[in-house]
Structure 1
Amino acid sequence: MKTNNLYWDTNNGDELFRRKEGVDSKRATEEDVLINLGFRDPFSREIKVGKMPMNEALDVVLEYGELYTIPKGYHSGLGTVRTQELSLGQLTPGTAIDEDIAENKVAWVNGIRVVGKLKINKNNMEGTATENDIVVGKDAWVNGKHIYGKMPVILREDTVLYAGDFYKIPRGYHGGEAIVHAADLAIQTPATAGPQDIVAGKSAWVKGKLIVGELEPLSVTLSVATASISDIRKSKTAFIANGLVTGTMNEYLNRPQTLLTAGQTFDIPVGYHDGMWRIKADSLYNQTQASATSADIRKNKTAWVNGALVYGEMEQEISPNSPGTAEEKDLKKGKIAWSNGVKLIGTNEYDSISYAFNENNSDDPSSPIVCIMPTHRWNSINTLIIEFFDVNDPNRRVQKVVYSDVVSGSSRIKGTHSVVTTLGSPRVVVTNFDPNYYIEVSIYGYDVVDFSEENEEVR
Structure 2
Amino acid sequence: MSVQTEIQRIQTARNTLRTKAVELKISSGTEKLDELAEDYNGITNQGSITAQVKEGETYTIPKGYHDGTGTVSGVSGGGSYNLQSKSVTPTKKPQQVTPDGGYYGLSDVTVEAIPTQYQDASSVTATAGDVLTGKIIVTADGSVTPGTMTNNGAVKKTLDTTTKSYTIPTGYHDGKGGVSITTEEKTATPTKSPQDITPTTGQVLSKVTVEAIPAQYVDTHDANAAAGDILTGKSAYVGGAKIDGSMPNNGDTTGTFDGLSTESYEIPAGYTSGGSVRLTSDIMDALASI
- Could you state the TM-score of these two structures normalised by the residue count of structure 2? 0.32
Higher relative contact order (CA 8 A, sep 6+): 1
- Could you state the TM-score of these two structures normalised by the residue count of structure 1? 0.22
Q: Higher helix fraction: Structure 1 or Structure 2?
A: 2
Q: Higher strand fraction: Structure 1 or Structure 2?
A: 1
Higher gyration radius (CA): 2
